[in-house]
Each structure stands twice: as C-alpha cells, then as structure tokens.
Amino acid sequence: MTKSKNHNSIIFLTTLGVYLGLVLAGGASSQVFAHTALTRNFDIQDEIEFKDDLDKKPDDERSSLPESVQVYLEDVEQFLASLQDLSRKGRFDLNLDAFEVAQGSSLPCTAGNSVGSYTAEKFENRNAALDPVLGRFSKRLYYGYSLFDCVPSTKFQGKQSADSRFDFKLNGSGFSLEVTVKKSSPQSAFLMLGPLGRTFKSFRTNDASTIRNRIIENTTFRSENDQVFVVTRLPRGSLESLLADKNAQ
C-alpha cells in the first residue's frame, strides 16, 4: 500500500474529531488543539476549515450512552453508505481497494492544561477517491462518544485525561472498525459491557435501515484490563452483498 497524497489533511480531520469528542466529555480545552496542530504541517486552508468547524462545536456536556451509541451507528452507517455510493459510480472496487486508518489520543480532562498528545499510527489508502470519505469518517468517529472515563495520567503530572483510539480497515477479510476507550478500572470496563450490548440491541428495529441492522448484528464488545473494545466487523461476503443491495439505505 502507498500513502495518500492527502495524508496531512486527513490526519488533521482525525485530530479534530478526537478533540470534539473530548469536548463533549467535558474537558479538552482549546489550548490542547493549539498544541496538537503544531505537531503536523497543515496549509492555511486546513486551519480555516478547523476554525469554522470549531465555532459550531456543541456545549461542554457528557453524552448519554444511548446518544453515544446512536451517533456511532449513524457514523458507521453513513460511512458504509458512502462506500456503496462510490461503488455504484465505479469509483470504489471491493476487489481492488484497501485502506487502514489508526490513531490514538491522550488529552487532558481539566480545562487550563495546555498539554495534549495524539499518535497518528497509520493512514494507508490505495484509492484517492476514498480520501474524502476516510477523512469524514475519521473526523466523526469520536464526535459525541462519551464511553471513556477520565483517569489520572502520568503524561499530565497526575491530572486526569481521557485516552482512546480507533482502527478501521478494509482488506481481503472484509471491513472492521475497533474503537478502544480507557475506563477507571477493570471492573468499570467489565460492567460497561452489559449496558453497551443492550443499548445497541435497542436500536435494531423493523424500521431501521438494512445497513444499520447489519452493523448491530456484527458489532461485539469485550473488556481487557481497564479497556473497553467496541468492534464492528463485516466479513467480505456480507459487505459485498450490502454494497450491491439497492435497498440497503
């Protein structure tokens, strides 16, 4: 695989998504972005787009679990619908295209702490036509999700931070998305699995789109130590039929 020409702009969008998600969780300050933006080379257009988007950010408040799950489903549904649209236009080929995007973040929950960090672990894409779709999806991934806990961090001199990461990819096995959030303890992580599962199932209805119900059917949850993993995995055969289904949306 080769890296996309739009590598910097996509990473910028991803960082914005993480930032906004943490704003909803009630913590990250505008100073965090100022620090983060300086870790990459962005052109002036990127900076203008960020300012426009930031001005429209929601109030600082924590989303409820149903709200977070709903946004997750909407984001993944929109992403798959975009792939379906590109496929119909002949701009995306499941047999030829592949991609992987991964990023981790650790940002302070306390306003006034000017230090934040993120790790853009991977951005690989074979098809330039997918760049806008991958950018929008990475930008939205953490928007509205409040699944993590704010925990003391050695990175911020014991002050609390919210740690999360995501990895989504398409390869010969199909499409997968893994969102990881850190909780305050192994017990807190384990206790979240039941409510997560029940909340996801509550969105599976006869009125829901084929894509949404397929996402719910193929999403699993697990905890390891103090982390919760939300994993949506669509095998190649299932994804192929979904993309070909004219009634999927």
Q: In the chain, where are the structural domains located? A: 7-244
Nearest-10 Cα torsion for 120, 60, 144, 197 = 110
Please report the pLDDT score of residue 245 as a whole number. Answer: 74
For residue range 176-214, what is the model confidence (pLDDT) as tens digits? 999 999 999 999 999 999 999 999 999 998 888 889 999
C-alpha distances in Å from residue 52, one per residue of 46, 55, 69, 111, 168? 10, 5, 26, 22, 27
Instruction: Identify the CA nearest to 134 among candidates 163, 173, 162, 92.
Output: 92
- CA dist 182 and 167 (Å) reads 15
What number of helices (H) and strands (E) belong to the chain? 8, 7
For residue range 134-162, what is the model confidence (pLDDT) as tens digits? 988 887 775 446 788 888 877 777 788 88
Cβ–Cβ < 8 Å for 159, 108: yes
pTM over 0.95: no
Please report the pLDDT score of residue 243 as a whole number. Answer: 85
- CA dist 79 and 81 (Å) reads 5
Please report the pLDDT score of residue 116 as a whole number. Answer: 65
Nearest 5°: phi and psi at 18? -60, -45
Instruction: Say whether pLDDT at 175 is over 50.
Output: yes
For residue range 60-116, what is the model confidence (pLDDT) as tens digits? 345 789 988 999 999 999 999 999 999 999 999 999 999 999 988 777 776 655 456
- CA dist 249 and 247 (Å) reads 6
- CA dist 118 and 201 (Å) reads 32
Q: What is the mean pLDDT of residues 162-182?
A: 92
